[in-house]
């Protein structure tokens, strides 16, 4: 059967944590042991896994003893608090927060795009932002054929990006509005049901929010092109768990729509969804629960002979977070970049 590995999920009870559990099961990840870690308030709760009920433990220094891989999805402050402890214990942490993404010593990895970067890890690998992952998977195959000069991205981001409570808030607000009640925002600053607003992350002096700057800076790092021109406008929309993005690409010379279609129809992690007769293209409802980034409506930019337009949808919890982290772990195993916990026979 080969080697198996000891894994800990840090932030196991959140939306991404529970998705990590499902993926470890469905992808038949080679587990020797699995620990579920969370804050003290979640300790003692149980989660189902492979026919058993696993108990969630409060994270502490001893939690990382005899662990090979930590899948962290508990937020930046928690990752910063425990990264050194986990690494010192001999584990590799794959971190889903923004804490280490722009640290020059920490690889920022999308396995379909820059798998070789993972080899440079020092015990820590960063999982990119969800919008960045989805865009990178969709546009990098084109960038490989003809380098992209400029990207203009507009995002339509689901409630799941703000966690499980945000998803519930949209449902509750929808019911309230339909019953004639006033919707009460708690997770978000404004009601999201039947509404949309620019992404609610902090703004800088130029008027760009953190989410937009993540797309700019992380894409440059992943592509290895510091001079790539990127601008983004990120918007929160009343969708539960799949993000959508409108992408305008500019090349140095024309890029035929037909060639782009052929490339993306064969690209890893991408599913081409185009029915021009029915005006049917990627939708969040179709992307939810799917591993692939759905791409379609590829067309020539009427305003620029060197421009292409495309539309994509991808599950924010899955490929935008949990799946990418599990794929990084699988990549480390495949390339023998982890010390195996033990060998099992049979």
* Pairing outcome for strands 293-300 and 307-315: antiparallel
Of the listed 143, 234, 243, 313, which one is catalytic? 243
Tokens 């795009």 belong to which residue?
113
Rounded to a whole number, what is the distance in angstroms from the first to the last CA of the chain? 6
Of the listed 121, 130, 143, 234, which one is catalytic? 130
DSSP letters spanning 45-112: -EEEETTEEEEEEE--GGGGTT-SEEEE-S-HHHHHHHHHHHHHTTPEEEE-SSSSTT-TTS-B--TT
Give catalytic status of residue 121 as yes or no.
no
DSSP letters spanning 21-63: HHHHHHTT--EEEEEEEE-GGGTT-EEEETTEEEEEEE--GGG
Q: Tell me the C-alpha to C-alpha distance, in Å, between residue 129 and each of 102, 173, 217, 254, 276.
A: 11, 27, 11, 30, 31
Q: Tell me the C-alpha to C-alpha distance, in Å, between residue 339 and each of 69, 135, 202, 332, 343.
A: 10, 32, 40, 10, 11
Nearest to 45 by CA among 60, 34, 59, 57: 57
Give catalytic status of residue 243 as yes or no.
yes
3-state secondary structure of 146: coil
Q: Catalytic residue positions?
A: 130, 243
């Amino acid at each position: 059967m080969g080697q198996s590995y000891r894994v800990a999920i840090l932030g196991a009870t959140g939306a991404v944590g529970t998705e990590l559990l499902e993926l470890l099961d469905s992808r038949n990840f080679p587990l020797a042991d699995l620990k579920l870690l969370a804050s003290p308030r979640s300790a003692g709760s149980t989660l189902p896994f492979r026919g058993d009920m696993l108990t969630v433990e409060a994270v502490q220094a001893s939690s990382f003893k005899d662990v090979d891989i930590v899948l962290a999805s508990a937020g930046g402050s928690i990752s910063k608090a425990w990264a050194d402890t986990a690494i010192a214990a001999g584990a590799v942490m794959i971190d889903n927060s923004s804490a280490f993404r722009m640290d020059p010593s920490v690889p920022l990895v999308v396995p379909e795009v820059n798998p070789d970067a993972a080899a440079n890890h020092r015990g820590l690998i960063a999982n990119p932002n969800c919008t960045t992952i989805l865009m990178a998977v969709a546009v990098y195959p084109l960038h490989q054929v003809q380098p992209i000069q400029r990207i203009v991205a507009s995002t339509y981001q689901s409630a799941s990006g703000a966690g499980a409570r945000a998803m519930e808030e949209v449902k509750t607000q929808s019911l309230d509005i339909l019953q004639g009640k006033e919707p009460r925002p708690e997770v978000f600053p404004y009601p999201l049901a039947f509404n949309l607003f620019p992404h609610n992350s902090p703004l800088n002096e130029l008027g760009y929010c953190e989410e937009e700057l993540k797309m700019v800076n992380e894409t440059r790092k992943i592509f290895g092109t510091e001079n790539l021109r990127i601008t983004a406008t990120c918007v929160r929309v009343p969708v539960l768990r799949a993000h959508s993005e409108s992408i305008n690409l500019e090349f140095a010379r024309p890029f035929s729509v037909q060639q782009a279609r052929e490339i993306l129809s064969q690209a890893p992690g991408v599913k081409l969804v185009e029915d021009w007769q029915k005006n049917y293209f990627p939708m969040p409802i179709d992307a939810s629960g799917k591993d692939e980034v759905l791409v379609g409506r590829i067309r020539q930019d009427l305003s620029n002979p060197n421009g292409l337009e495309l539309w994509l949808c991808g599950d924010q919890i899955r490929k935008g977070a949990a799946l990418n982290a599990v794929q990084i772990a699988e990549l480390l195993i495949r390339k023998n970049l982890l010390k195996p916990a033990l060998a099992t026979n049979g």
